[in-house]
Amino acid sequence: MIDLIKELCGLPGVSGREGAVREYILEKLSVSSAKIKTRVDPLGNVIAEVTGRSRTRRSLLLAAHMDEVGFIITGVTDEGFLRFASVGGIDEQVVYGRRVIVNGHPGVIGGKATHQLEKDEKNSAVPLDKLLIDIGADSRGEAIKKAEPGDVAVFESGFKEIGGLIKARALDNRAGCALLLKLAETTPEYDLTLAFTVQEEVGLRGAKTAAYGINPDIAIVVDSTTAADTAGVPKEKQVCRIGKGPVISFMDNRTLYDKKLFDIILDAAKTTNIKAQVKSAVVGGNDAGAIHLSKCGVRVAAVSLPCRYLHSASCMISKGDLEETLKLLERLIPLFAAEVEID
């Protein structure tokens, strides 16, 4: 699974430009030993129907989004710099001076030198509209050969294993995609549908169309969520902690999760000695926000990986949390598909 994540995080996949990630996922699904029927819907979601050893009482969907936050080029200056805007939620504090990749070309996000800043500017993050991407061009004509308005850029960030942690760009949510691919490597106990969705970071758009087409009874959204377990943050405000296992949500800014499913997940973790933790704040959101409102409604749960420095060039997750999350998902598939009473 570490190799899967490394390869996935090395692919560019800004919202609406997920093509490289989609092709990788389709290739991995095509060599699975399981019987899988795949399709790509008009918005670009990958839908994979995996035939299990047994049929289900209820249709079960597991969803993870392919896209990542990044930047879109909005213009090119006469001097050869690129103007840009963010795609998805990126904190302005993590942008200045960062290396990026635009169409395979390296660049650096820069702005005015420190001694040129006004006093009030020195005490706040530089707004994105005051920054430019420097790709080493000395004219508009030279720059336009490398990038044009509408092209996208991603953070340049190498993959590193640091102790028991992984550092990489786009762990939100290539780690979730890797978990779903791992589940699809062999024939599962029961039929299930996997959705690798697009455009989550700009409004849960892919999940909306995917869920409408699949029309599941139950959906589990597999994503990453903010871990604020760093120095100076009180425990009650850390939301979740790396190393404590997958994060189970009762509510976020887009979804009030199904209480029955929430209880089943926590009980399953407890009875099988799988680490799990409850998200301790009502913040954020994920594809469940669109899925649970699809058609006549879908019962949803969220199983997330705690991730430090979300939406930055250097996201961090725990290898132990990955393993615990995989174990939990493997246990939930038979429970939700057939084994427990839910209604």
Q: Of 18, 68, 200, 324, which residue is the catalytic one?
A: 200
Q: What are the two backbone dihedrals, phi and then psi, of residue 192, each rounded to the nearest 5 degrees?
A: -155, 160
- Count how many Cα atoms sit within 13 Å of the Cα of residue 268 in the half-sphere of its side chain: 23
Q: Which two tokens stand for residue 81?
A: 């710099």
Of 237, 184, 207, the residue nearest 66 (C-alpha): 207
Q: Which residues contact 182 (CB under 8 A, 6 or more apart)?
A: 1, 4, 326
The number of helices, as runs of H, and strands, as runs of E, in the chain is 9, 17
Using CB atoms within 10 Å of the CB of residue 323, give its burial: 0 to 12 exposed, 13 to 18 middle, 19+ buried.
middle
Q: What are the two backbone dihedrals, phi and then psi, of residue 333, each rounded to the nearest 5 degrees?
A: -55, -55
The β-bridge partners of 192 are: 50
Contact 225, 307 (CB under 8 A): yes
The rounded distance, in Å, linking the Cα atoms of 343 and 339 is: 12
The β-bridge partners of 82 are: 76, 133
- Degrees (nearest 5) of the Cα angle 40, 155, 281? 80
Tokens 């005015």 belong to residue: 112
200 part of the active site: yes
C-alpha distance from residue 228 to each of 201, 250, 251, 327 (Å): 20, 18, 18, 24
Residue 337 is given by DSSP the state I
Q: Strands of 247-248's sheet, edge to edge?
A: 35-40, 46-51, 192-197, 60-65, 218-226, 299-307, 247-248, 277-278
The rounded distance, in Å, linking the Cα atoms of 307 and 230 is: 11
Residues with active-site annotation: 200
